[in-house]
Structure 1
Amino acid sequence: MRLPEAAMKVSVIVPAHNEEQGLPATLASLLAQTDQADQIIVVDDGSTDRTGEVARSYGATVLRPPGNLGSKARAQNHALPHCLGDLVLAVDADTVLAPDYIERLKPAFGDPSVAIAAGNVQTRFTRTLWERGRSIEYLFGFHWHRPIQASAASPMVCSGCCSAFRRDLLLEHGGFPERTIVEDMDLTWSAQIAGHRAVYVGDAVAWAADPETLPYLRRQLRRWMAGFFQNVRLHLGRLVVRKPMLALWVLLAVLEILFAPLWWVTPILLTVTWHMPVEQALAWWWGTELLLMAPPLIYAARRRRIPLLRILANIPCVYPARAINTYYAWKGLITELLLVPLGLTKSLTVYEKGRADTLPPGPYTPRHATPQRIQALQALSSPQEPAPRPPAPRERPPS
């Protein structure tokens, strides 16, 4: 029997590796929720700083594996058997939730077909070129692509930094997927293929700390784009049969990647082929860009109450980030869709987050959720088994 959403208990998992600086803001935002989580678990995944100590000071339950687990999904799976809630909210250790995030997300689960729900992600900081560029991408994506996909009941991804999952779904799939380098997209697609719904809740807002340096951005985009094409290789055939609308979004994304280089050189082609003056070609290219980007950004500015001039000033910053994204998208496409199937190289399995990595990243072997793994997880999570002690009442730490 399904519980009404108001009665559902929420367990929060925060995987953290060397996050003593970012973790306080994350935990403070969780403690400030208007609909309080029933359990907050921080997985201190091989940290060499004060991550565990900081988490305990905020009243969180701290789990520390014997060694670094090598991926975010594994850290989350380490905590999953200890989760007591009907819903599991996965939150990155550098993400801050709006005070009403859980309150706004919970009603989505009043529909028994909904297995995953995620909110609107925006950038926490706009200090550097890369953060400012990412802020434009998030404003555009979460106020254009996401609503369209949501209206078609086929979101491409529920962001791993702030998504809530039915615990039953996670048990059904053997936990968070470890077979690809991006567990959020893998689980979003797998759930929809299995007949469940994933939903986007635009009024639930979270702010993520994005790459502030070029090396960090490169590591993140390498992982994201390789993971995207790992999921294309793994799921596309079943998506076409079981979830054709989601397959359409995926194919459109692949086409956008394929044609991105052509768009970048369009001003040169106009100049060489049509003998258009360089200034006119650039003006045509830039005008077309603004025409496509302006309506969603104007809407986002009003919705998020951001001065429009600030958004306009950040638009030029998006192009360096897009150029790097195009490079890693093509690299991921060639590697994961061509070279890996031909046996000429290995799929990306090194999980590099970037900002907090002070230990050298180690490779891990992606695992599939075998029937034995699912049974073991369900046994660990069974109500007949001794349940972990609930966390002590949390008090807001002194400011």
Structure 2
Amino acid sequence: MTATLTVIVPAHNEEAGLPATLEAIRRQTVPPDKVVVVDDGSTDRTGEVAAAYGATVLRPPHNLGSKAKAQNHALPACDTDLVLAVDADTVLAPDYIEKIKPAFDDPEVVVAAGNVQTRFTRTVWERGRSIEYLFGFHWNRPIQNGANSPVVCSGCCSAFRRAALTGFGGFPERTIVEDMDFTWSMQIAGRRAVYVGDAVAWAADPETLTYLRKQVWRWMAGFFQNVRLHLGGLVRRKPMLAVWIVLALAEIFTAPLWWATPFVLTLGMHRSVGTVLTFWLGPELLFTVPPLLYAARRRRLPVLGVMANVPFVYLTKAVNIYYAWKALIVELVLVPLRLSRGLVIYEKGRA
């Protein structure tokens, strides 16, 4: 029997981006059984746009304050086997549902997500993010999936087994990143999360530094909230996933040394600029370029265009490491000492 599926789209002031999202859902080769849009305290025409596309529109009495809360508001309206959560600025490939559904033929799979790429590469920040996604979703995610330990099923396009989701209490609200929280919780409980590389979605990523900072701060704070909450359980119940987390922590701890290297070599050891760049960037490029070439081929992207975006990834990396260290201090030091509540207010970024 074919599993039934409801799409949930949480939306706050998304009248501009929502039509592309809903049009992509409408054009699915395997259409959903129901589409529910949560008009979460919008002051624009979000609800009217959603209704025009035939979606069931739910309007909470006030803005709920986070994506997880908006999604949970929609759960009682879902009576299907599966729930697919899609961000209001994310566009699914026409065969996304067709590709993601078979993952649930395995009864142990409770959450699955596809390959997320950037919709636009207009600004330096979008270009940097495009490289992060091309590398991450064609190198890191397949390796993690092969080891049966995905680090996160991306919240912008994750499908859930509804019984497992409701049995857990819905989308977790205790951390600022519900997707990572649920992915880790389910694996600790012995259930499976999977990455489906052939299911592709395109997300609208930060086009400004202001938006990027808010998004990365939320992501990094949420990561360390989950480290604080789950690391012990991961070590005991899901050691392979714990390995990926420890490697991520090691990268964060050593990143300042990597960024300091060119200054030490140039100012302290009086090396030439050419020597410094070769020593500093050479090994990294040898590691990153082959996966990017493979990703460009898989995504049918012009290789020169992809390579031209590589320098911009170092701008986004600089933002990432700043907020990673800020989140580490706040969530792993100040919160346990009761000197901070940590990040509890969900800010998407564009607003």
TM norm structure 1: 0.87
* Alignment match, 1:215: 210
Q: Which residue identity is paired with 1:78?
A: H
- Corresponding residue of 1:151: 146
Partner of 1:255: 250
Structural RMSD (CA): 0.9
The one-letter code of the counterpart of 1:138 is Y
Q: TM-score, normalised by structure 2?
A: 0.99
Tell me which residue corresponds to 1:269: 264
Counterparts of 1:90-129 in structure 2, within 5 Å, are 90-129=85-124
Alpha-carbon distance in 2 for matches of 1:47, 1:270: 53
Report the equivalent of 1:89.
84
The alpha-carbon deviation at position 272 of structure 1 amounts to 4.7
Matching residue's letter, 2:217: R
**CA shift digits 1:62-115 (9 cap, x unpaired):** 000000000000000000011021000000000000000000000110001111
- Checking the alignment, whether the CA contact within 8 Å between 1:154 and 1:245 is kept in structure 2 is yes
Find the counterpart in structure 2 of residue 10 from structure 1: 5
What does 1:162-173 correspond to in 2, within 5 Å? 162-173=157-168
Could you tell me which residue of structure 1 aligns to residue 48 of structure 2?
53
* Code of the aligned partner of 2:176: I
Q: C-alpha deviations, 1:254-298, integer Å up to 9, x for none?
A: 110111111111122233554422331123212222111101101
How far apart are the structure 1 equivalents of 2:324 and 2:293?
28
Q: Is the 8 A contact 1:39 1:84 kept in 2?
A: no
| SS of equivalent residue, structure 2 residue 62 | coil
* Matched positions, count: 351
Identity among equivalent positions (%) equals: 72
Secondary structure at the residue paired with 1:324? helix
Which amino acid is 1:88 matched to?
V
Contact 1:11/1:38 (<8 A) preserved: yes
For structure 1, the residue ranges without an aligned partner over 5 or more in a row are 358-399
2:34 counterpart of 1:23: no
User: Could you tell me how far apart the structure 1 residues matched to 2:226 and 2:192 are?
Assistant: 18
Structure 1 residue 332 corresponds to structure 2 residue 304? no
In structure 2, the partner of 1:347 is 342
2:201 maps to what in 1? 206
State the 1:343 CA deviation: 1.0
Q: Secondary structure at the match of 2:290?
A: helix
Structure 1 stretches of 4+ with a deviation exceeding 3 A read 271-275
Distance 1:228 1:302 in 2: 31
Greater C-alpha radius of gyration: 1
Asked whether the 8 Å contact 1:122–1:208 carries over to 2, the reply is: yes
Q: 1:38, 1:13 → 2: CA distance?
A: 11
Separation in 1, partners of 2:242, 2:163 = 25
Task: Indicate which of 290, 294, 310 corresponds to 1:295.
Answer: 290
CA distance in 2, matches of 1:51, 1:273: 57
1:182 paired residue among 164, 169, 177: 177
The answer to whether structure 1 residue 138 and structure 2 residue 138 are counterparts is no
The residue type paired with residue 176 of structure 1 is: F
Structure 2 residues not aligned, in runs of 5+: none
CA distance in 1, matches of 2:49, 2:108: 38
